[in-house]
A and B are shown apart, each in its own frame.
Chain A
Amino acid sequence: MNRNLRNRICVLAALFMMLLPAGCSWNGETRSREYTNTPKGNFMALWTIMDEHYCFFDFKKETLGVDWDEVKVRYAASISDDLSDRSLFEILCKMIGELRDGHVNLTSQYDYGRNWSWKTDHPANFSKDLQDKYLGTDYIIGGNGYSYRVLDDNIGYLVVESFESAMSDNRLNIMFNNMALCNGIIIDIRDNGGGQLTASESLASRFTEKKVTVSYTCYKTGPGHNDFSKLYKNELSPAEYDLRWIKPVVVLTNRGCFSSANDFAFTMKALDNVTLMGDTTGGGGGMPMSSELPNGWVVRFSSAPTFDADMNHVEAGVAPHIRVDMKDEDIRAGVDTYIESARAYINDKLKNF
């Protein structure tokens, strides 16, 4: 091979290498679907994201009669490309609202789209004023969202407003030390909208002496409505090297208990010394994920379903052991029916012990 030919080969090879990446980039981009930023494009993007990633279609069809394909046809009729952003947002919110799932939301500059009928369609069974009355003014703040005191009949009363953050191990130990002589403990999680799973598990692990299977979970492995992974067993292990509570526990629940609070409810329900009292929880049994529409609006949806220890869906809530409803006359008299029922239950249990 003469020198000129070699040089030409090298130059051609260099040019080839300079041009190649653009072709590869183009190839990669075309292999993934992207919708246009028009009302129709955003509508299709939202419908498809939900269709391929939402995990409760079969359950919603069974319990609410929601047919996602029929929903598409019905709502597509009202989508046109001259629709204003605000109107589009309202229509899309209505569409995802059909699923009546608190973990399904659409966020835009206009509003936070949601359907909270899982809570608003039911009695509140909760009065913040009454709760504050029972806590008094000398209660102890054990962390962000955690308050407690010992009631007059020697029963501990812990209010967990949120699981956004966990109560530290040290503070939990101090709380159990403060309540060491109590006959039982009431954990009030009414209107707790959830937070972190680790926070609810951390608290629940103080109420068991042995490893207990509390739930099963899986996640979506493909776009089909029934593409799920194998079931993973969720076991609650006792908190090691820390104080644990083995006396009676009553957990107060209402329809406002959602997401991690729902998880806390079914986790505690699986334990021997725990009684759930009140109303069915609000549900939220799917771990949520988020995605984005071409116009930048964020959609959140449930993507990983959870089942309780008996393999029941917890998306529609966890039923209590003992059903209790707030009585109007009690409210008027400044009495919280839930807390009084829990106190009576623990005191009865103590008498019969």
Chain B
Amino acid sequence: MTGSCRCSNGLTAVLAAVLMSLLPLQAMAQRKAWVLPGEEETFRVFSVAGGTTFARDTYLSASRYNGWAVGFENDSWSGSTPEKRFSYVRNYSSLFFSPLTNRLKGGSTLEAGGSDYLSFMYPAVSCSACDLLIGPAVMFEGVVLYNEQNSNNPVNFSGYMGAGLCVDNTFRFSLFRYPMALQATLYVPIAGIGFAPDYDQPYYYMYKYGGFDKALHFITPFNNPAVMQQVALILPCRGNLIRLGYSFDYSGNHLGGHSRNIGTGLFSIGCVYRFQSKKWDI
């Protein structure tokens, strides 16, 4: 989608500029093989996902709950301009929902979670067959658990906002003359702020008396060992690129005197779209 306009009327020009700024990207099918995005180029992968999850939160229950999960993933890669510090900016976000049961099927818990990982990466090793990207990342993650058996404290939220490291590895190869790419990504939070009630602090008290600050904790890999890993195979399919992925998101924190172990493994399938920023001539 390209175009130009010449307007004598200043107001019309401004309106046109605003409208065009809302549509700055050009979407088209991805190339036949996965490569990293070039300058002003964005690749986006929208995926639907399904898998399994487990959760154990001692604020709610001493038991471990398991179940299936469904979700969405949005993975966006952008190539930056040469004068910028980082070569690539990646934004991976996901939402999932899961009904869980304990192993005796006697209790049920609903789980809903989301995460957003924003990483700024540069190539540590790059060659025609592979790219190893490393860089800092900002991470947000939150999970809400609703235990249907607990009448007085049914809900708990745990989450963190932190800074960490992202490593991404893409290995390109051919199978039956089809160009493919195997991609492995790892996010590890190193420090940040985590939320968890101060031992048996009721949410009603937080609402009524304050003390919200007691639920905020400084996190490190020792009290909040978390990791998000993704393995994906990108393969061509009828002129488009399809990504088959498996992501495993684990967060096991020991904050506020309680322990939480929440892990979600999702298989995903999505299509890769390429967007190109365009300069508009007015």
Q: Chain B residues near A9 (CB, 8 Å)?
A: 125, 132
The answer for the CA separation of A9 and B106 in the assembled complex, in Å, is 48
Q: Is A333 located at the chain interface by the 8 A CB criterion?
A: no
Contact B152–A232 (Cβ < 8 Å)? no
The number of chain B residues touching the other chain, given as a range, is 35 or more
Q: Mark A21-63, 1 if CB is under 8 A from B, else 0.
A: 1001101110110110100000001000100010100000000
CB distance from A256 to the nearest CB of B (A): 20
Q: Is B58 located at the chain interface by the 8 A CB criterion?
A: yes
Contact B186–A35 (Cβ < 8 Å)? no
195-233 of chain B: CB within 8 A of chain A: 198-202, 204-205, 208-209, 211, 214, 225-227, 229, 231
Q: Is A273 located at the chain interface by the 8 A CB criterion?
A: no
The number of chain A residues touching the other chain, given as a range, is 35 or more
Q: Chain B residues near A222 (CB, 8 Å)?
A: 199, 257
Name which of A64-72, A132-140, A141-149, A294-302 contacts chain B.
Answer: A294-302
The answer for the CA separation of A31 and B229 in the assembled complex, in Å, is 21
The answer for the CA separation of A203 and B160 in the assembled complex, in Å, is 39
CB distance from B223 to the nearest CB of A (A): 10
Name which of B9-17, B136-144, B247-255 contacts chain A.
Answer: B247-255
Q: Is B194 located at the chain interface by the 8 A CB criterion?
A: no
The answer for the CA separation of A227 and B211 in the assembled complex, in Å, is 16
Contact A288–B61 (Cβ < 8 Å)? no
Contacting residue for A287 out of B104, B149, B204, B259, CB 8 A = B204
291-318 of chain A: CB within 8 A of chain B: 291-296, 298, 300, 303-304
Q: Is A347 located at the chain interface by the 8 A CB criterion?
A: no
The answer for the CA separation of A45 and B64 in the assembled complex, in Å, is 14
CB distance from B90 to the nearest CB of A (A): 15
Chain B interface (Cβ < 8 Å from any Cβ of A): 56, 58, 60-64, 102-104, 106-107, 125, 127-132, 147, 149-153, 167, 169, 171, 182, 184-186, 198-202, 204-205, 208-209, 211, 214, 225-227, 229, 231, 248, 250, 252, 254, 257, 259, 261, 263
